[in-house]
Structure 1
């Protein structure tokens, strides 16, 4: 694991269960994540059928699902269900969300909604309020992303759905920061696996009678990649642990900027060090790099995060 977080008992069990399961199921589907692992209940209170958990548990799952390229739909479901539990505790939909028999997606913006392609429900947080909308009330245009994941562009009637009360502004701000932080954690998992696979490749390939991992120029390249991951990982850990504190905005923007740089440094280095094999379907490496680039593209303008980082410096 790339992130060094103070794990709760729940997070430790999640991490261990995920490691065992993913060792035998490298590309798990929705049913596996829901039925075999019970991941859809993370973030939903126990009294509503979930397993509870917060920022640390979210980061553990996102990091583990990164290399399996299974984190996009899970995260959207998790954030939407958690936000619904905040806005409407005890809502009748929560138990079916917790066991995965119903799927929900978080719609902070109607364009490119992760998980929206197959969701049964949508939690719309659009700055004008909070609405729980049945997905068949929305017009959906499914889009295939560069990394093979599916998103949806949504057209949602203004009168559709159930209006939710509660602290809508607080839930929306939480969802945005939690989404950014978890996507950074997913990138940490991707980068750690790309580094691991590249190190194994360099140690297995020989030239001039020795593993090419011994060549100084390649060792320096690997060191640069490792340093990029360490820097990003430290700021991601800080963002995870800052959830709910006055410094959360500052920590999240710092993590986003550093992760954006690190994904490109690690991904480009891993692909180049593998040579032509780095972009073949024979290896998972190319797909992981593409996933990292797609995540980075969802972070929004770098200038906006730098400006928020500067504005929250105090």
Structure 2
């Protein structure tokens, strides 16, 4: 199995990076956090014009119909830029949800507007122990709620505090039931995996942005008359971060290339854990390298630090994903034993 991106995919990622850099993304993130979504929505419309929001949407609904690996390329750049908004939900989770249902009218109702950036969507899942929470439910035009075997529209009921001010979370309550039945369970699982995969890609991109910022800062900050990047301890710490990010990348690509169960959920969870751990290590190293300035909200580094911390659990905690991996491996072992017993 090939885990290297094609020249076309590399060029696509480079073009998105240039677009996000030109869009003054840090300013848009801060405006989004303060309740002004206009710069962020303008940026998302630009990305939609480049086809990003329609990558996972079938051509019949105005999208590109690209492969999951192309979505991973895009969301790495989202993470690298710390871009705001419910992009994971609009471009990954909801398209996977609606296109897995036997009711094509729902996909036709919303996905064309998602693809061209005219509409943003968000989705909440029923979670044991707490109420359903949706990202940017005050800004999104479409709010959906997957409650077991029911798919409903939803309304927000109250804010939920997030460590990342740009991730505006709200509790939601079910409104109109759109679809009910066993197919919703399968569609909900596909949507969760698509969202988790996109979040893992964001984490990897954010981790690489943190590593770059740290490396550049070590060339400027001086101690004892020379740049701190010349000290072996600093070099070793940043090298460890690079190794962690590089080792996480093949797991992310493997998850993007896996399309069938039960291996899809296992591979997505492995990618979430690896990318989350690597990005968190990059965040810790960035704080240590930058010192006190890294803790200040005014310094742009904080945008990535809070993003990584929030994203690590946004699509399932590490414990949840480890449990999914363990369950998949157990099921594979039981199947192998059963097959050997009947051979």
Q: From 104, 127, 132, give the equivalent of 1:89.
A: 104
- Per-residue CA deviation, residues 188-209 of structure 1 (Å, 9 max, x unaligned), is 0100010011001101223334
Q: How far apart in 2 are the matches of 1:260 and 1:36?
A: 25
Shift of residue 77 of structure 1?
1.2
SS at match of 2:104: coil
Q: From 177, 183, 208, give the equivalent of 2:224.
A: 208
The TM-score, its normalising length taken from structure 2, stands at: 0.80
Q: How far apart in 1 are the matches of 2:265 and 2:47?
A: 35
- The range that moved more, 109-118 or 189-198, is 109-118
Q: Does the CA contact (< 8 Å) of 1:201 and 1:274 recur in 2?
A: yes
Shift of residue 266 of structure 1?
1.3
* Paired residue total: 304
Alignment of 1:31 onto 2:33: no
Alignment of 1:111-126 (within 5 A): 111-126=132-147
Q: Does the CA contact (< 8 Å) of 2:82 and 2:304 recur in 1?
A: yes
Alignment of 1:16 onto 2:14: yes
Q: How far apart in 2 are the matches of 1:207 and 1:152?
A: 45
- Per-residue CA deviation, residues 235-282 of structure 1 (Å, 9 max, x unaligned), is 222222223354112212222222332232211111111111112234
Q: How far apart in 1 are the matches of 2:57 and 2:149?
A: 24
Q: Give 5+ residue unaligned stretches, structure 2.
A: 29-39, 333-343
- Per-residue CA deviation, residues 154-188 of structure 1 (Å, 9 max, x unaligned), is 0123xx14326793222111111111111111000
Match of 1:6 in 2: 5
Q: RMSD between aligned alpha carbons?
A: 2.5
Alignment of 1:65 onto 2:78: yes
Match of 2:328 in 1: 312
- The range that moved more, 168-177 or 114-123, is 114-123
Q: How far apart in 1 are the matches of 2:85 and 2:251?
A: 21
Alignment of 1:1-314 (within 5 A): 5-7=4-6, 9=8, 11=9, 14-27=12-25, 29-35=40-46, 37-38=48-49, 39-70=52-83, 72-78=85-91, 79-87=93-101, 88-89=103-104, 91-109=108-126, 111-131=132-152, 133=153, 138-148=155-165, 149-157=167-175, 160-163=176-179, 167-244=183-260, 246-313=262-329, 314=332
Q: Does the CA contact (< 8 Å) of 1:5 and 1:56 recur in 2?
A: no
- The range that moved more, 54-63 or 89-98, is 89-98
- The range that moved more, 163-172 or 117-126, is 163-172
Shift of residue 291 of structure 1?
0.7
Q: Does the CA contact (< 8 Å) of 2:312 and 2:318 recur in 1?
A: no
Q: How far apart in 2 are the matches of 1:280 and 1:287?
A: 10
Q: Does the CA contact (< 8 Å) of 1:71 and 1:186 recur in 2?
A: no
Q: Does the CA contact (< 8 Å) of 2:48 and 2:117 recur in 1?
A: no
- The range that moved more, 72-81 or 195-204, is 72-81
- The range that moved more, 116-125 or 168-177, is 116-125
- Per-residue CA deviation, residues 255-314 of structure 1 (Å, 9 max, x unaligned), is 222233223221111111111111223432122011101011224343332232122223
The TM-score, its normalising length taken from structure 1, stands at: 0.86
Q: Does the CA contact (< 8 Å) of 2:158 and 2:170 recur in 1?
A: yes
CA distance 1:54–1:71, change in 2 (3 Å): farther
Q: Give 5+ residue unaligned stretches, structure 1.
A: none
